[in-house]
Amino acid sequence: MFPSEVTDFFRTQKTPFYYYDLDVLNATLEEIQKHGLSKGFHVHFALKANNQPKVLKLIKEAGLGADCVSGGEVQRAIDSGFSACEIAFAGVGKSDEEIELGLKHDIFCFNCESVQELEVLNELAGMQGKTARIALRLNPNVEADTHRYITTGLNENKFGINASDLDEVLDRLPDLNNLKLIGIHFHIGSQIENFTPFEELCERANMLNEHIENRGFELSVINVGGGFGINYTHPNDNAIPDFERFFGLFESRIKLKEHQQLHFELGRSVVGQCGSLITRVLYTKYGETKNFAIVDAGMTELIRPALYQAAHRIDVLTSSKRDKNYDVVGPICESSDTFRTDISIPEVVRGDIIAIRSAGAYGEVMRSAYNLREANSSVYSDEV
């Protein structure tokens, strides 16, 4: 929860806005250092989860690299002080201009997802007189046990190279003289709380690693991606994911060879719990079967509930009244602009301050200007 002085500060601010608790972020980074970096693992932070410069500065200072999925994210990583040798560039649809940007900065690795992408990258690298380091993003066909919109490792998904096509890709690589294969890359989905999919990923990764090395390629990088979930129901009691168990699973199950390093691309688990969307109650409506708390934040500020049916914890910071059931909804002219339905929270009145929790990942980065909504500046705990 939030101290009273922080809540008092929120009352004075124009809402809605994102609030970042840097103590939570730093504590999370310490656990990643303790259980991941200290073991020699490489962790690239996924900028698609959060690209705020102040957040990125702390992540970079903690020793993490950058995982990017667009040219804009590559540039943001460079501008935020990440070394080019720490930047991995993934994405199923990299444009020529984005590839050229990565080549210009000589980034660590391009995670490639198709034969045609390899051919285009080879051509563009040749035009710059460079050799591009690549990892093949392989599709392990592992069910991630998460929402279907954020499942990425099945044969039916648009991402990655299927195992049935791998030998064709390996046959093609020797002819692509401007590429250097350094590793393999996986990412099976997001918000994975069940560890079984990660165990299955390790089995598939070991098998594919062995197969490719037996084909005569030496892989120095085994990149198992990210996807580790957070607890959206109890963010106060579970502010930091169990990184000891997460990293320990891969440490015990991935069979690295002496010349190989283990890489991760974590996003949500790094920043998810440090961010909250702070909003104000505009109106209340009481009907025959429904009560509505209409707030000034909407799907333009946090689209996850509308897009993924995500359920964020909602805390009322300025009311201690008896609980009442509400649909907490926003002002956008869409029926899907709903944060929670039939949720029991303290009875609210116009002006009450509400925190929508666990919004540090895939919150502010997905904000839109739909309905010509203006964005308010973020607030950080060291500013209060």
pLDDT at 48: 98
Residue found under tokens 């069979």: 255
CA–CA dist 115, 136 (Å, integer): 10
DSSP secondary structure of 198-230: HHHHHHHHHHHHHHHHHTTPPP-EEE----B--
Question: Furthest-apart CA pair in the chain: how many Å?
Answer: 71
Q: What percent of the chain has pLDDT over 90?
A: 92
pLDDT at 156: 59
Kindly state the tokens that stand for 42. 């490489």
Q: What's the whole-number mean pLDDT along residues 218-234? A: 97
Mean pLDDT for the chain?
95
Residue found under tokens 């666990």: 358
Q: What is the rounded end-to-end Cα distance, in angstroms, of the chain?
A: 15
Q: What is the CA radius of gyration of the chain?
A: 22
CA–CA dist 350, 316 (Å, integer): 12
Q: What's the whole-number mean pLDDT along residues 101-112? A: 98
| Tens-place pLDDT, residues 339-348 | 999 999 999 9
CA–CA dist 361, 104 (Å, integer): 29
Scored b (16 or more CB within 10 A) or e, 208-247 reads bbeebeeeebebebbbbbbbbbbbbeebeeebbbbbeebb
CB 105 within 8 A of CB 84: yes
Amino acid letter at 131? Answer: T
Pairing relationship of beta strands 323-329 and 291-295 according to DSSP bridges: parallel
Second CATH level (architecture) for the domain 273-383: Beta Barrel (2.40)
Q: What's the whole-number mean pLDDT along residues 227-241? A: 96
| Tens-place pLDDT, residues 136-175 | 999 987 865 554 544 544 445 667 898 889 999 999 999 9
pLDDT band at 99 (very low <50, low <70, confident <90, very high): very high
Inter-CA distances, 337 with 112, 277, 288, 306, 352, Å: 36, 15, 21, 6, 19
pLDDT band at 287 (very low <50, low <70, confident <90, very high): confident
Say if residue 40 is exposed, middle or buried (CB neighbours under 10 Å; 0-12, 13-18, 19+).
exposed
Kindly state the tokens that stand for 109. 């690795």
| Tens-place pLDDT, residues 318-370 | 999 999 999 999 999 999 999 999 999 999 999 999 999 999 999 999 999 99
Domain boundaries in the chain?
22-272, 273-383
Among 357, 326, 343, CA closest to 233? 357
pLDDT at 148: 52
Lowest mean pLDDT among 48-57, 160-169, 224-233: 160-169
Higher pLDDT, 316 or 1: 316
| Tens-place pLDDT, residues 115-141 | 999 999 999 999 999 999 999 999 987
CATH of 22-272, one of 3.10.310.30, 3.30.750.24, 2.170.130.10, 3.20.20.10: 3.20.20.10
DSSP H or E stretch at residue 290: none
Say whether pLDDT at 64 is over 70: yes
| Tens-place pLDDT, residues 187-225 | 998 999 999 999 999 999 999 999 999 999 999 999 999
